[in-house]
């Protein structure tokens, strides 16, 4: 595919209205062709009007039609796998084979959402049938289904340039919900974004859907994002990125005349708690596994295990040594953008000034934006006293926290803000202490892992990628997994309807063969 650098507004590609940019190869520091267009208010408005115009027909697609559309996107993703991985690697410095795997996994997610659509359980149908003889007054027939909330603006993320970008899970779950999508492409990988936008735009055309179902815009600075969040025809927003960026969008949307939901997934240090029996039995294994996971994607992952907490005792030094061996052996690698690299350097400096000591560092970087790996250590008292030590440093950085006794470790657990995940490394003798730790963690994270690391993540029905603030802006939802679709759905009740006017999901004949809650009882379609 020859990259045009243009914006995607419905079925059109449109040129820049506000200048443009070139992609940067973080491995060489050089610009890559071609020039990519920036748009502004006019393009956002056009895309939003098209999305609004597409809403009624897209929201009313049959489950089969909608599932086939999602599967078409999966097929087209498979077809561009290699090309997409290569361009993405150039723009991000991430290895092409890893990116090929990311494309394949993402295509799988689209197929999973197609299955979610076919099952139709996301409609959460409930029927309270009429009770004409009820006293003191009859009950009318009530039927509830969930439908799309309306057009959604999605901000592509920098760090997983496929699975959290144009064709990422946010887009898949929004389209599955029946929401047209306007994607704000991340400027860290514009070529990769264009290839992905083509995949969706072509699938829209091939499936004969309204062109407004998908658009992709791009801009310099914050203006284009602000215009998206402000646009009255946009009904929800998702964002994955920094706490500062996410909160600016969130607060802006809450100041609209009509506030809208903004789901931001922002920051998490994914603390790992090692209890004494597990530490004694396999400290080295835990330290090694921790560091291995910490270093994935040059530490640029929302699920990176960043803080390892344990009471000093048998196994502690083995754990530290094993982690240190991994960290010191790992060469510096290019980070995603110069800005991310600078923030990494500043952040790891600050932790040192807060009293954490360097256990080890990796080799000196050869290239300008390479992230040097770092492992620091601090005692539990310092850690609890200085909240900044519990905050994220995005990059190949981790902190070991050493406690004198378990109560201190529990106190440290209470000091954490909201997290995407927390991990307990435990053996049977630890269960009693784990039962004390568990309610502390339940209040602070939406995923608790035992004896493994939280990264990589499954994408399933029991998957949650979310958490109390500042992990996300709304702990009631997830951005990954089959229930990510719930962010974009609202319930509508149809009361006293003639069968002929009811949507398929609610019709007496149940043509989609859905599970339905009838009078409060789950009822199979057969």
> Beta-carbon neighbour count of residue 220 at 10 Å?
14
Task: Pick between residue 331 and residue 450 the one whose CB is nearest to a second copy.
Answer: 450
Q: By CB under 8 A, is residue 28 in contact with a second copy?
A: no
Write down the catalytic residue from 265, 318, 377, 433: 265
Q: By CB under 8 A, is residue 464 in contact with a second copy?
A: yes
List residues bridging with 216 in a β-sheet. Answer: 8, 183
**Contact set for a second copy, span 175-194 (CB under 8 A):** none
- Which of the ranges 62-70, 356-364, 371-379, 515-523 carries the binding residues for a second copy, by CB under 8 A? 515-523
Determine the distance from the C-alpha atom of residue 410 to the mean position of all C-alpha atoms in its chain, rounded to a whole number: 29
Task: Pick between residue 182 and residue 335 the one whose CB is nearest to a second copy.
Answer: 182
Q: Quote the longest CA-to-CA distance of the chain.
A: 82
User: Could you give the string, one character per residue 260-299, with x where binding to a second copy holds by CB under 8 A and - elsewhere?
Assistant: xx--------------------------------------
**Contact set for a second copy, span 409-438 (CB under 8 A):** 417-418, 428, 431, 434-435, 438
Nearest to 383 by CA among 397, 410, 407, 401: 401
Q: By CB under 8 A, is residue 254 in contact with a second copy?
A: yes
- Minimum CB distance to a second copy, residue 436 (Å): 10
Residue 210, phi-psi category: left (phi > 0), alpha (psi -120 to 50), beta (remainder): beta
Per the structure block, which two tokens stand in for 333?
């690698």
Task: Pick between residue 1 and residue 140 the one whose CB is nearest to a second copy.
Answer: 140
CB 415 within 8 A of CB 390: yes
**Contact set for a second copy, span 129-158 (CB under 8 A):** 137, 139-140, 142-144, 147, 149-150
Tell me the residue length of the chain.
526
Task: Pick between residue 242 and residue 373 the one whose CB is nearest to a second copy.
Answer: 242
Q: Quick one: which of 45, 65, 128, 411 contacts a second copy (CB under 8 A)?
A: 128
Task: Tell me if residue 265 is catalytic.
Answer: yes
Write down the catalytic residue from 6, 194, 264, 302: 302
Determine the distance from the C-alpha atom of residue 253 to the mean position of all C-alpha atoms in its chain, rounded to a whole number: 19
- Which of the ranges 124-132, 157-165, 337-345, 346-354 carries the binding residues for a second copy, by CB under 8 A? 124-132
Q: By CB under 8 A, is residue 497 in contact with a second copy?
A: yes
Task: Tell me if residue 302 is catalytic.
Answer: yes
Q: By CB under 8 A, is residue 258 in contact with a second copy?
A: yes
- What's the per-residue H, E or C state across 304-330? CCCEEEEECCCCHHHHHHHHHHHHHHC
**Buried residues in 304-321 as b, exposed as e (16+ CB within 10 A):** bbbbbbbbbeebbebbbe
Task: Give me the half-sphere count of Cα atoms (radius 13 Å) on the Cβ side of residue 155.
Answer: 28
Q: By CB under 8 A, is residue 489 in contact with a second copy?
A: yes
Cα 522 to Cα 127: distance, rounded to the nearest angstrom: 10
- Minimum CB distance to a second copy, residue 155 (Å): 18
Per the structure block, which two tokens stand in for 505?
């999901």
**Active site residue ranges:** 265, 302
């Amino acid at each position: 595919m020859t990259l045009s650098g243009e914006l995607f507004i419905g079925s059109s590609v449109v040129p820049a209205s506000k200048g443009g940019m070139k992609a940067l190869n973080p491995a060489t520091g050089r610009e890559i062709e071609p020039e990519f267009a920036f748009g502004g208010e006019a393009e956002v408005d056009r895309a939003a009007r098209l999305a609004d115009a597409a809403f009624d027909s897209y929201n009313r697609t049959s489950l089969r039609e909608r599932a086939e559309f999602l599967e078409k996107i999966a097929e087209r993703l498979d077809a561009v796998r290699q090309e997409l991985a290569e361009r993405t690697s150039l723009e991000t410095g991430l290895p092409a084979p890893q990116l090929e795997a990311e494309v394949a996994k993402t295509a799988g997610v689209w197929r999973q959402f197609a299955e979610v659509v076919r099952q139709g359980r996301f409609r959460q149908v409930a029927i309270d049938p009429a009770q004409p003889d009820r006293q003191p007054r009859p009950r009318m027939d009530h039927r509830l289904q969930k439908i799309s909330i309306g057009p959604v603006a999605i901000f592509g993320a920098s760090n997983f340039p496929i699975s959290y970008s144009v064709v990422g899970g946010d887009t898949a779950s929004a389209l599955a919900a029946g929401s047209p999508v306007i994607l704000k492409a991340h400027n860290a990988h514009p070529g990769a974004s264009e290839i992905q936008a083509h995949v969706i735009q072509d699938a829209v055309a091939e499936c004969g859907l309204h062109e407004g179902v998908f658009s992709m815009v791009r801009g310099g600075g914050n203006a284009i994002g602000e215009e998206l969040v402000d646009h009255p025809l946009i009904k929800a927003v998702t964002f994955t990125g920094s706490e500062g960026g996410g909160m600016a969008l969130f607060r802006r949307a809450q100041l609209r005349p009509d506030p809208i939901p903004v789901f931001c997934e922002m920051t998490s240090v994914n603390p790992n708690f090692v209890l004494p029996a597990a530490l004694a039995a396999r400290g080295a294994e835990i330290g090694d596994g921790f560091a291995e996971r910490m270093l994935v994607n040059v530490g640029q992952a929302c699920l990176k295990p960043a803080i390892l907490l344990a009471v000093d005792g048998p196994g502690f030094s083995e754990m530290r040594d094993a982690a240190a061996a991994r960290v010191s052996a790992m060469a510096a690698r290019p980070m995603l953008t110069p800005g991310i690299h600078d923030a990494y350097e500043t952040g790891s400096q600050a932790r040192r000034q807060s009293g954490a000591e360097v256990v080890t560092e990796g080799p000196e970087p050869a290239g300008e934006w390479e992230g040097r790996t770092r492992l620091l250590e601090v005692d539990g008292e310092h850690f609890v006293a200085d909240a900044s030590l519990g905050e994220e440093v995005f990059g190949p950085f981790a902190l070991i926290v050493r406690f004198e006794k378990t109560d201190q470790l529990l106190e440290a657990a209470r000091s954490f803000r909201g997290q995407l995940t927390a991990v307990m490394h435990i053996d049977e003798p630890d269960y009693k202490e784990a039962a004390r730790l568990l309610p502390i963690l339940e209040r602070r994270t939406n995923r608790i892992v035992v004896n493994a690391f939280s990264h990589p993540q499954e994408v399933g029905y029991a998957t949650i990628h979310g958490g109390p603030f500042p992990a996300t802006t709304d702990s009631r939802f997830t951005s990954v997994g089959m229930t990510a679709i719930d962010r974009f759905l609202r319930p509508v009740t149809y009361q006293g309807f003639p069968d002929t006017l009811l949507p398929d999901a609610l019709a007496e004949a149940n043509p989609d063969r859905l599970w339905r809650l009838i009078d409060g009882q789950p009822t199979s379609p057969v």
